[in-house]
Structure 1
Amino acid sequence: MNQHAEILNQFDLKEGVTQSLLESVRLFKVTHERPREPLLYDPCMCIIAQGHKVGYVGDRTFRYDPENYLVVSIATPFECCTFADENNPLLGIFIDIDMAMLHEVIHAMGSQVRTVSGGKLPQTVGPAVMDNEMFDAVSRLLNILRSETDVKVLGTGLVKEILYRALKGSQAHLLYALAGFDGSFANIAHVLRRIHINYNDKLDVNYLAEYANMSVSSFHRAFKEVTSEPPMQYLKKVRLTKAKDLIVNKRLKAYLAAQEVGYESVSQFSREFKRYFGESASEMIRSANLCVDE
């Protein structure tokens, strides 16, 4: 058991995600294996202390574990398998990426940021090696999370240090591009933020290409290179994931969730929901032991 897991075991963590004393940091625990399933991460760093996950984006597969943390630059729907059990639960933390802090750190670093991504546009998610400097910074952050005073005095500085360490790692180009310094990626990132804020609007490829100040063909090509998905497929996954949250966590009826995320046809929503998640909304509610009518 590494130091991160030892510290996390000192918290009274329940199944799922627990908010820490520091607003930008959440702790998580999973005690059972989960098969490949769709999920959506907001912009963050996901640091695993024990167990591991395997992610799938398009034809790309990656593993994140105690030796490899995950960087997510833009809220990204992808699929994931979770490997854990009651004796060895998955333990880790999410650290939200604050744009103002990101710009501040990049400005302070100047030319030290790694901006090269092999000639291709960066993708929105990728693993980076947990080096000694990052490991030590995360350990110090975890150690202060039990004290409100420590969090108030040291929390922001430690999160900033972790962001700085990430900007010296193998996914630095992704964070640099997120900050708006990489033209085509910045255009796509602008569109992705629009989608995640206004996913229930009537959005089409022509509108999104215009919003990105790109031709339709250039936009479609760049969007797929960054996200591994065509624009409308990406939008559909975002809507369905948002609907799942409304149904399972907010206990909203399925037809109301469909309307809330922008579906005009409830039957179409039901078909696409079951195809994407492998079960209907009502089946998902029953499996989650929630008493909610469809």
Structure 2
Amino acid sequence: MQEKTLAQQAELARAIERHTGTNGVHQTAIPSLSFVRRSIDKDRNYGVYKRSLCITAQGVKEVSVGMEEFRYGPGDYLVASVDLPATSQIIETSPESPYLGFILELTTNEILEVLGDANFSSVLEEGSGRGMFVSRLNLSLFDAVVRLVRLLDTPEDIPTLAPLFTKEVIYKVLKGEHGDTLRKLVVKGNSAYQIKNAIELIKTNYDKPIKVEVLAETANMSVSSFHRYFKEVTAMSPIQFQKQLKLQEARRLLFSESTDATTVAYRVGYESPSQFSREYSRMFGFPPIEDMKRLREKHEQRLNA
């Protein structure tokens, strides 16, 4: 079994290498599937992990959510079962052996469809569980992943078979050791699902003040219960969650629009540019102007590499 797992891992790595060729994130012909290739970039990256299944075929990656860290390499898979602001860093890569990753986005409808077709117990344990987890890849899940990736070599089969193979992958994840965590976040009537509703409200209104009482009401919880369950799912408080969304969007705006820091501070909901600069420096390690200079220099280096 170990030999077959290694063979699958090698096949997945070859496929990612073949369908990327250059560094970056590459969308494939399967709409929900992307590949990642990084050979030199070990910097921290900031973004929102959407609900997805992530697999490393080569190299090692570390993802931080709040104060919690998730490390995964070949033979592991990571699932983000709810959208989470996170910091990621590739810690093992080189030009000779680049980091190669697989990302399959998962929709609520797809998960619910699998749950409706399969014979899963309707009973879920109390508690929400962390919205991100890492597990070991078993042979069954790896088989399903490799079959999905092989469709890229027969594009004419993708419209018919990709939805079926994706459902198989989701089924295998739901059958895994953390499958209940994923189920809780799509099935109505439990605390995890109610927290998901509050997360959506914060994401939609990240640039506006939101009272915790409003979030708790959205989740149909008392304020104290809401705080406890929110931190259980996201590893951070609602205020920290919203702040990360604000600062990540501010960084994106500064880089993509070349707008000044004061304007961006107001656009993402800060009333004080000095507070924005302090919190930006605390999160990204540099004040906005210096950070943008570094990012643009590295962007030029990548383009010229």
Read off the aligned partner of 1:198 and give its amino acid letter.
Answer: N
Extract unaligned runs of 5+ from structure 2: 1-8, 299-305
1:219 to 219, 226, 229: 226
Say how many residue pairs are matched.
Answer: 290
Offset of 1:71 from its aligned partner? 0.5
Read off the aligned partner of 1:111 and give its amino acid letter.
Answer: F
Check if 1:64 corresponds to 2:72: yes
Q: Equivalent residue of 2:296, what SS?
A: coil
2-structure distance, mates of 1:165, 1:113: 17
1-structure distance, mates of 2:190, 2:264: 36
Q: Out of 159-168 and 275-284, give the one that drifted further.
A: 275-284
What aligned pairs does 1:127-146 form with structure 2 within 5 A after superposition? 127-146=134-153
Q: 1:85 to 1:182 in 2, by over 3 A?
A: farther
Check if 1:269 corresponds to 2:276: yes
Q: Out of 159-168 and 180-189, give the one that drifted further.
A: 180-189
Q: 1:199 to 1:104 in 2, by over 3 A?
A: same
Match of 2:81 in 1: 73
4+ runs of 1 displaced by more than 6 Å? none
Identity of aligned residues (%): 32
1-structure distance, mates of 2:243, 2:156: 43
Q: Equivalent residue of 1:63, what SS?
A: strand
Read off the aligned partner of 1:257 and give its amino acid letter.
Answer: V
* TM-score, normalisation: structure 1: 0.89
Match of 2:171 in 1: 164
Offset of 1:268 from its aligned partner? 1.7
For each residue in 1:97-132, what CA deviation from the matched residue of structure 2 results, as whole angstroms up to 9, or x when unmatched? Answer: 11111101011123258944xx54211100122111
1-structure distance, mates of 2:165, 2:112: 16
1-structure distance, mates of 2:288, 2:247: 11
Match of 2:105 in 1: 96
* TM-score, normalisation: structure 2: 0.86
Check if 1:239 corresponds to 2:242: no
1:175 to 182, 199, 202: 182
Q: Equivalent residue of 1:275, what SS?
A: helix
Check if 1:283 corresponds to 2:290: yes
For each residue in 1:38-65, what CA deviation from the matched residue of structure 2 results, as whole angstroms up to 9, or x when unmatched? Answer: 4421111111111111233345333212
Q: CA RMSD in A?
A: 2.4
Offset of 1:244 from its aligned partner? 2.0
Q: Equivalent residue of 1:11, what SS?
A: helix
1-structure distance, mates of 2:253, 2:163: 31
Match of 1:107 in 2: 116
Contact 2:173/2:179 (CA < 8 Å) preserved in 1?
yes
2-structure distance, mates of 1:250, 1:113: 48
Query: Which structure has the highest helix share of the two?
Result: 2
For each residue in 1:18-47, what CA deviation from the matched residue of structure 2 results, as whole angstroms up to 9, or x when unmatched? Answer: 111122111111112525554421111111
